[in-house]
Amino acid sequence: MLTAARVLGRGRSHSLALGARALSSSAASPSATKDTFSIGGEAFEGRAAYLDGAATTPIDPRVLDSMLPWMTSLYGNVHSRTHMYGWESDSAVEHARGQVASLIGASPKEVVFTSGATESNNIAIKGTARFYKARKTHVITTQTEHKCVLDSCRALEQEGFSVTYLPVRKNGLVDMKELEDSMRWVLAQGRSGA
Ligand SMILES: Cc1ncc(COP(=O)(O)O)c(C=O)c1O
């Protein structure tokens, strides 16, 4: 059974005790404790290494420890301005925002928390394109981008933007000459007022 104590690998704290209940639910247990796996029909002992760090990553035990109280007992809607639960959560989120900002040398106003990469990519791509729409209407991306990036670009095409989907070479990298050519083409279109 997966418990917070096993995840954290250290002593039980107040937040840990609260979290142990949440993490020991039967839904979390079966796959987490599986100790064999197979590839191409061949069985192996242990747990396969998960290498797609772009898709998801394990949570740092220190983050889990900090978050457990907010996920189990101190939760409140950050946007609720009329009660203590909201104020409490809001203050914790703003504290975290300040920490992230100072870590990356940004202003807290520049740090936006989202639900994940799909939401972030949509906001970044559509937001930037719409902001510059009066002056810039072409987007260059690659054919191997994640679906959420490609879908955002398709959505921009519906709004009147044009998009270049560059191919990548066998090693996954863009041919810089092709990128330069695309940029020159965009500039030429701009000069001709197209
Ligand atoms: C490169 C890349 N972008 C975006 C996503 C989408 O992430 P999320 O599930 O956080 O929206 C993934 C998920 O696998 C990804 O690998």
Ligand 1 center to 30 CA (angstroms): 25
Going by DSSP bridges, is the β-strand pair 162-166/138-142 parallel, antiparallel, or unpaired? Answer: parallel
- Which of ligand 1's atoms lies nearest the C-alpha of 115? 10
Residue predicted with more confidence, 112 or 15? 112
Ligand 1 center to 13 CA (angstroms): 33
List pocket residues of ligand 1, CB cut-off 6 Å.
Answer: 54-55, 116-118, 146, 148
What number of other Cβ atoms are within 10 A of residue 123's Cβ? 13
Length reported for the chain: 194
Structure-token pair, residue 6: 């096993």
Residues 156-177: what's their mean pLDDT? 96
Going by DSSP bridges, is the β-strand pair 42-45/138-142 parallel, antiparallel, or unpaired? Answer: unpaired
67-119, pLDDT tens digit by residue?
Answer: 999 999 999 999 999 999 999 999 999 999 999 999 999 999 999 999 999 99
The half-sphere exposure of 97 on its side-chain side, counting CA atoms within 13 A, is: 15
Structure-token pair, residue 154: 């398709």
Work out the percent of the chain whose per-residue pLDDT is above 70.
80
Strand, coil or helix: 88: helix
Residue predicted with more confidence, 125 or 31? 125
pLDDT interval class at 1 (50, 70, 90): very low
- Which of ligand 1's atoms lies nearest the C-alpha of 145? 1
Work out the percent of the chain whose per-residue pLDDT is above 90.
70
Q: How far apart, in whole angstroms, are the C-alpha atoms of residue 145 and residue 125?
A: 12
Ligand 1 center to 167 CA (angstroms): 20
Nearest CA owner, ligand 1 atom 5: 117
